[in-house]
């Protein structure tokens, strides 16, 4: 009984901390419009340590993940594997673009950060 309860609670915690990223720009824009949200598009690469830190540590912070889920449709694009939408230029990764109505960029964050500082930056955009 205890083992079953533990497994159920563990599964709930994993789902709560796991953010779902879309991987198609057009679909992300459609979802955002339907849900009255904006898009946070992250440019990254599998070999990028700062990108992996954001995915593995910062996005698993409960305050950050709740804020992201509430306000944004998340779009993750790999700069080496995915087709990048026109008009969203970057210098380094990770780069976060914030896209509002009409597919207009409303904000941009370059580089990763600790969870508390990243959350402050998110709140300044939204």
- The second-level CATH assignment, the architecture, of 20-125 is 3-Layer(aba) Sandwich (3.40)
The domain segmentation of the chain, as residue ranges, is 20-125
Q: How far apart are CA 25 and CA 44, in angstroms?
A: 14
Question: What strands, in cross-sheet order, belong to the sheet with 105-110?
Answer: 21-22, 72-78, 38-44, 95-99, 105-110
Instruction: Out of 6-15, 56-65, 106-115, pick the least confident.
Output: 6-15
The rounded mean pLDDT for the chain is 89
Tell me: the pLDDT tens digits for 69-105? 999 999 999 999 999 999 999 999 999 999 998 899 9
Residue 76 to residue 110: CA distance in whole angstroms: 15
Task: Look up residue 104 and give its DSSP letter.
Answer: -
What pLDDT is stored for residue 45 in this prediction?
98
Distance CA 25, CA 41 (A): 8
Q: How confident is the model at residue 1 (pLDDT cuts 50, 70, 90)?
A: low
CA separation for the pair 65, 24 (Å, rounded): 20
């Amino acid at each position: 009984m205890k083992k079953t309860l533990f497994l159920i609670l563990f599964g709930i915690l994993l789902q709560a901390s796991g953010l779902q990223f879309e991987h198609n720009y057009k679909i992300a824009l459609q979802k955002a419009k339907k849900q009255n949200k904006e898009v946070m598009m992250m440019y990254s690469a599998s070999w990028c340590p700062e990108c992996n830190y954001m995915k593995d540590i910062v996005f698993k912070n409960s305050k950050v993940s709740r804020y992201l889920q509430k306000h944004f449709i998340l779009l993750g694009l790999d700069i080496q594997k995915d087709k990048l939408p026109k008009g969203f230029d970057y210098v380094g990764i990770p780069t976060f673009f914030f896209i509002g109505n009409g597919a207009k960029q409303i904000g941009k964050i370059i580089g990763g950060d600790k969870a508390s500082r990243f959350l402050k930056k998110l709140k300044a955009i939204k």
